[in-house]
Amino acid sequence: MNRIEVLKTYKMYIGGKFPRTESGRYFTLKNTKGEEIANMCTGSRKDFRNAVVAARKAFEPWANKTAYNRSQILYRIAEMLEGRKAQFIDELMQMGSTKKQAENEVFTSIDRLIYYAGWADKYQQISSSVNPVSGAFFNFSVQEPTGVVSVIAPEENGLIGLVSTIAPIIVSGNTCIVLASESKALCSISFAEVINSSDVPGGVINILTGNAEELIPHFSTHMDVNSMLYCGNDKKAMKSIKENSTTNLKRIVVKSDINWMKNDNESPYFITKFTEVKTTWHPIEKIGASGSGY
Amino acid sequence: MKDFKIITVDQVGIGDRVSRITKRSVKKEAKIHGLKMALNMIDLTTLEGADTVNKVKQLCYKGMHLHDSYEDLPTVAAICVYPNFVGLAKEQLKGSGINVASVATAFPSGNSSLEVKITDTKMAIDAGADEVDMVISRGKFHQGEHNYVFDEIAKIKEVCGKHARLKTILETGELGSLDNVRRASDIAMHAGSDFIKTSTGKISPAATLPVTLVMLEAIKDYYYETGIQVGMKPAGGISIAKLALQYLMLVKETLGDKWLTNQWFRFGASSLANDVLMQLEKQRTGNYQSKDYFSKD
């Protein structure tokens, strides 16, 4: 049958909605043969600003969900991704992967989501502590989410780069604004569709497409962003990010030269990069015959 | 009630004019100027059942010291409270040039006898209120008893006399149509209001751009007809700076510069001030701001 193929309009993902960029700009993605495959939004600082507002609003309810529930939701993302793996394999191949590479990337992404889903209610148990103190106090330290995190996702990978950075950030209760890979932006918005159908509340994950160089100053200066993850090797960008972060003492995490496909690069320590330690002093009394303190 | 023409409103036309305003953007110096002007027009408001002495003190302090690290910032125009806090607010604001506004007349419903409303108003004025925000009887208005509504406003105006300026709240969210808003505006102005005000802030929708435009048009017509200048106060739901600037554009284009002072235009708001401050800091530092660095009340 002769028919005209219906092509998808790739928009961005902000606050649980798919708006176009307010700037009206776009860039064209090409496949390895040099053919145009899609027009992507060139996100602007105002799109980022709107995303931060959405992420801030989503932060408290998300952080207040039980760890168990966040685990379920991450698992749900994996389920949805599994169901749409063919689409992602196809998109990765359009952006230059071989079939085998594409399959490998999609399967690793799904497994990585499951991996972090499993850590949701466990990472605190290995990273928190009961501290010995002198006096009648119960003293303990627990991990709490840092807040709103801005992310420059790895340029080299379309899907695994997004999954490997988003999952450990949101699993503890943070919310994030992610700038997807510019050259491999195609599946970032398809991944947003997966997120949108996975019980993730709007605003917890926001995905922008566009140019890193243009957006890094805003990602790093915004006073309502508490932490920033930069994946890349640009020394000049790293320097400016660190300088800009001093305005509100953002916690900066840099990941350079990482092969995200390797399982070495999934770790509970990646979760605790985006948490803060809260230490609590609690008065105690002797309970029962054993004289136990708490 | 005096006789005056009943005017109907072109709802589509109003919507169209408003939508053109919302598509404009104000940048750089004009934006800073507009933001400062908006700050200076705010009636910083707390009208909660849970208001306490310290909450009112805190609000008065905030009105006087909006953001001390920013030099040459104006203060707000007035602090708006319930009548029982007027004395306290007056004392706190002494020497600051900030007015005390008080709601009265069985705010927010207005469902009480005229005697009670007069007593309520007197109480606020005796305590030192510079401005009285009264509510109209919406029930009577809907029953067609426009004379009653008119007489009530006129009576409260008489009580206010030279002591206080009267702002009349139409509670447009309960009036049903723009035609009714126009009629209520005309009644309030002919009865002697110094200001007409959209809402109590207790009903949704509160102030909107279309309703405000209708009221501004009413003010314009009344001014041409009688030469008397009446002020405008949209209240409730205006919490972001961008929206405040759109209101200012509407005023400038409908009534002109003569109304662009806090003598003739006010915003009734509680959280608008902080958003305006955040935008001013953004303009000054170049960085988008966080609520974490601004006082809550």
Give the model's confidence band at A294: pLDDT under 50 very low, under 70 low, under 90 confident, else very high.
low
Taking all residues of chain B, what is their mean pLDDT, rounded to a whole number? 94
| Amino acid residing at B132 | V
Instruction: Round to whole Å and give the CA distance between B6 and B8.
Output: 7
Mean pLDDT of all residues in A14-29: 96
Predicted local confidence at residue B2, as pLDDT: 60
Mean pLDDT of all residues in A28-32: 89
Q: Is the pLDDT of residue A137 over 80?
A: yes
User: Which residues make Cβ contacts (< 8 Å) with residue B120, sequence separation at least 6?
Assistant: B83, B104, B105, B106, B112
Mean pLDDT of all residues in A23-29: 95
Predicted local confidence at residue A7, as pLDDT: 87
Mean pLDDT of all residues in B43-47: 95
Q: A224, B287: Cβ pair inside 8 Å?
A: no
Q: Catalytic pick from B43, B120, B130, B133?
A: B133
Q: Is the pLDDT of residue A292 over 90?
A: no
Is B3 among the domain residues? no
Q: Which chain B positions have a beta carbon within 8 Å of A248's beta carbon? A: 290, 292-293
In CATH, A26-283 is 3.40.605.10: yes
Quick one: three-class SS letters along chain B?
Answer: CCCCCCCCCCHHHHHHHHHHHHCCCCCHHHHHHHHHHHHHCEEEECCCCCCCHHHHHHHHHHHHCCCCCCCCCCCCCEEEECHHHHHHHHHHCCCCCCEEEEEECCCCCCCCCHHHHHHHHHHHHHCCCCEEEEECCHHHHHCCCHHHHHHHHHHHHHHHCCCCEEEEECCHHHCCCHHHHHHHHHHHHHCCCCEEECCCCCCCCCCCHHHHHHHHHHHHHHHHHHCCCCEEECECCCCCHHHHHHHHHHHHHHCCHHHCCCCCECEEECCHHHHHHHHHHHHHHCCCCCHHHCCCC
Is B159 among the domain residues? yes
Q: How far is CA A180 from CA A20, A184, A223, B126, B275, in A?
A: 15, 8, 22, 63, 30
Instruction: Round to whole Å and give the CA distance between B115 and B122.
Output: 11
| Amino acid residing at A234 | D
In tens, the pLDDT along A87-127 reads: 999 999 999 999 999 999 999 999 999 999 999 999 999 99
Is B249 among the domain residues? yes
Give the model's confidence band at A287: pLDDT under 50 very low, under 70 low, under 90 confident, else very high.
low
Q: Is B202 a catalytic residue?
A: no
Classify strands B195-197 and A26-30 as parallel, antiparallel or unpaired: unpaired
Classify strands A227-231 and A251-255 as parallel, antiparallel or unpaired: parallel
Question: Could you list the residue range(s) of the whole structural domain that residue B260 is in?
Answer: 11-293
Predicted local confidence at residue B3, as pLDDT: 67
Q: Which chain A positions have a beta carbon within 8 Å of B285's beta carbon? A: 247
Predicted local confidence at residue A285, as pLDDT: 74
Closest CA to A45 of A224, A248, A218, A240: A218
In tens, the pLDDT along B95-128 reads: 999 999 999 999 999 999 999 999 999 999 999 9
- The helix/strand count (H/E) of chain A reads as 10, 10
Between chain A and chain B, how many beta carbons pairs sit less than 8 Å apart?
Answer: 25
Closest alpha carbon within chain B to A49:
B288
Instruction: Round to whole Å and give the CA distance between A106 and A84.
Output: 10
Predicted local confidence at residue A119, as pLDDT: 97
CATH number of domain containing B103: 3.20.20.70
Instruction: Round to whole Å and give the CA distance between A70 and A199.
Output: 10
Q: Please give the share of chain B, as a percent, with pLDDT higher than 90.
A: 95
The DSSP symbol for A287 reads: B
Q: Please give the share of chain A, as a percent, with pLDDT higher than 90.
A: 87
Q: Which chain B positions have a beta carbon within 8 Å of A224's beta carbon? A: 288-292
Q: Give the neighbor-by-neighbor strand order of the sheet with A129-131.
A: A129-131, A137-145, A275-283
Give the model's confidence band at A25: pLDDT under 50 very low, under 70 low, under 90 confident, else very high.
very high
Question: How remote is the C-alpha of B68 from its chain's centroid?
Answer: 25
Q: How far is CA A225 from CA A148, A164, B283, in A?
A: 5, 20, 18
Q: Are A224 and B290 in contact (CB under 8 A)?
A: yes
Give the model's confidence band at B85: pLDDT under 50 very low, under 70 low, under 90 confident, else very high.
very high
Q: Is B133 a catalytic residue?
A: yes
Mean pLDDT of all residues in B20-26: 92
> Could you tell me the residue ranges of all domains in chain A?
26-283
In tens, the pLDDT along B197-249 reads: 999 999 999 999 999 999 999 999 999 999 999 999 999 999 999 999 999 99
Predicted local confidence at residue A177, as pLDDT: 98
Classify strands A36-41 and A26-30 as parallel, antiparallel or unpaired: antiparallel
Predicted local confidence at residue B25, as pLDDT: 87
| Number of domains making up chain B | 1
State the nearest Cα–Cα gap between B293 and chain A, in angstroms: 9
* Phi, psi of B88, deg, nearest 5: -60, -50
In tens, the pLDDT along B169-204 reads: 999 999 999 999 999 999 999 999 999 999 999 999
Nearest CB among B286, B288, B293 relative to A52 is that of B288
| Chain A residues 240-259 with CB within 8 Å of chain B | 247-248
Q: Are B206 and B181 in contact (CB under 8 A)?
A: no
Mean pLDDT of all residues in A154-159: 93
